Chains A and B, each alone.
Chain A
Amino acid sequence: QVQLQESGPGLVKPSETLSLTCTVSGRSINGYYWSWIRQPPGKGLEWIGYIHYTGSTDYNPSLKSRVTISVDTSKNQFFLRLSSVTAADTAVYFCARSDTLLVGYYFDFWGQGTLVTVSS
């Protein structure tokens, strides 16, 4: 069974950089796409971007200028960096595996989520 676990600071100051790690266990990170998704308190889901195990990435244009997703296959981890954060970036951040079988991609395994609050 694939398990994902997010880790990182729960509080980030405005204008600073949010950094999160997703550790994957139970399965190699190789062969898949890995996504970050966020959910502001009481609101819906927003896809931030994905990384392929080879290192190729795709980002949501709404965040593209501030987002970097990277991967360390040797540690079975991938990472999120979001720069110049504001209160609007306060959210629960999820990491998830993106897989495909028939048509398109879906998020089949998720981390439990970590709340990141942007506040001074």
Chain B
Amino acid sequence: DIQMTQSPSSLSASVGDRVTITCRASQSISTYLNWYQQRPGKAPKLLIQATSRLESGVPSRFSGSGSGTDFTLTITSPQPEDLGTYYCQQSYSTPWTFGQGTKVEIK
């Protein structure tokens, strides 16, 4: 199985800050990397697929980059509604696996 490791596990940011979440794969996964946001008590929501392709309706303050084993989700100027837990997920090979999550608090 491909292990996905996210850092940090949690963070607190102020409106207007720049938030960076990293995701590292245990082997190269090319750009087969997706990002999800999960608000408390809700199902995850797809934000970015194929490393950097923003889903329709997702604000442009979200962006993704990377390739191989190292990936980044960036939130420029986070808003209060961006609180929640963010997960990366690889689809390079099954079993598809998720990172352990990064909990984001907005001050």
Contacts and interface: CB of A to CB of B under 8 A. Distances in A.
Interface of A: 35, 44-47, 58-62, 94, 96, 101-108, 110-113
B44 A101 contact: no
A94 B43 contact: yes
A111 B43 contact: yes
B43 A113 contact: yes
Interface residues of B, number: 30
A61 B34 CA distance: 21
A13 B94 CA distance: 30
Contacts of B1: 61
A104 B100 contact: no
A103 B67 CA distance: 12
Contacts of A106: 34, 46, 49-50, 89, 91
